[in-house]
Amino acid sequence: MSKLFFRWSLALLLLCSGAAHAAEFVVIVSARNPLNAMSADQVAAIFLAQNGRFPGGAEAQALDLPVGSPLRDDFYRSVAARTPALMKAYWTKMVFTGRGHPPRELASSVAVRRMVADNPGMIAYIDKSALDASVKAIQVTP
């Protein structure tokens, strides 16, 4: 019984430690972009290729993390209320009908941050721990 207790305790510890270190995303724009806040619907519209402009009219280009990234999955669940399966179906339909293409993907939050920092017309999401002064996190309201 001691071995069983040890295994369950270890499994619980691993689960809890993973949850404590779960990544948190932030939506970012270049520090040179005047934007400070957007609604979740506005953010979703840009990432779903339904709108190519920021509030105020400036052109907006979204950047994504790779398919299968937990941060990407969290972002789309939170902002667009869509699971990875729904996102795959959405982009399949959009591409097939010629109505849009998914955002460009970069390999990591650091790569995304660097690209956004140099381009005031870009918007993305990254792991909160990857923030620096070259970009700013915007407030996303419901």
pLDDT > 50? residue 8 = no
Angle, helices 40-47/70-80, rounded to nearest 10 degrees:
120
Q: 3 is written with which tokens?
A: 């071995």
**Spelled out in words, what is the top-level CATH class assigned to the domain 23-141?**
alpha beta
pLDDT band at 10 (very low <50, low <70, confident <90, very high): very low
| 59-96 tens-digit pLDDT | 999 999 999 999 999 999 999 999 999 999 999 999 99
- Output the average pLDDT for the chain: 88
65 phi and psi angles, rounded to 5 deg: -90, 165
Q: Determine the Cα–Cα distance for residues 142 and 41; give it in Å rounded to an integer.
A: 8
pLDDT band at 22 (very low <50, low <70, confident <90, very high): low
Q: For a pLDDT cut of 90, what percent of the chain falls above it?
A: 83
Q: Determine the Cα–Cα distance for residues 116 and 106; give it in Å rounded to an integer.
A: 11
Q: pTM (2 decimals)?
A: 0.84
Across residues 109-131, what is the average pLDDT?
Answer: 97
Q: Which long-range contacts (CB under 8 A, 24 or more apart) does 49-56 make?
A: 49/94, 49/99, 49/100, 49/101, 49/102, 49/103, 50/100, 54/123
Relative to beta strand 61-64, strand 37-39 is: unpaired
pLDDT > 70? residue 9 = no
